Structure 1
């Protein structure tokens, strides 16, 4: 499990996918989420604007399992 540190209160799922190297640019988020399953804290979610906070656990199909940390 990898930790992605954020310096702000939250990060959107689209930004998170870019920081975690699951996608190359933020513009790919919409299409990525249509074709890949993302599970946040045990629940499937495909909203690129979903806010993630420190302590959240994110599982990305074919990319890995991550936690959001405070940096």
Structure 2
């Protein structure tokens, strides 16, 4: 599991994926959502603008697992 630090109290999923260099653009998230590959804290996520907070765990099937950490 990789830890990704954010500088804000929360971050949206699409912004997080760009911030962490997982995707090149926010638009690419659509394909991951359509294929049911994104899980937040163990729950399937279908919202590209899902709010993420420090302590949340993002798992992307076939790519990796990431823990969000605040400053």
Q: Compute the RMSD of aligned alpha carbons.
A: 1.3
**Structure 1 residues not aligned, in runs of 5+:** none
Query: Given the two structures, how large is their TM-score scaled by the length of structure 1?
Result: 0.87
Query: Given the two structures, how large is their TM-score scaled by the length of structure 2?
Result: 0.87
Q: Deviations over 1:35-62 (max 9, x none)?
A: 3511111111121110000000111112
Secondary structure of 2:68's partner? Answer: strand
- Which contiguous aligned blocks of 4+ residues in structure 1 show a shift greater than 3 angstroms? none
Residue in 2 that maps onto 1:19: 19
Larger strand fraction of residues: 1
Q: Deviations over 1:12-53 (max 9, x none)?
A: 111111122221111222233213511111111121110000
Query: Contact between 1:36 and 1:60, CA under 8 Å: does it hold in 2?
Result: no
**Structure 2 residues not aligned, in runs of 5+:** none
Moved more, 30-39 or 53-62: 30-39
Count the aligned residue pairs. Answer: 71
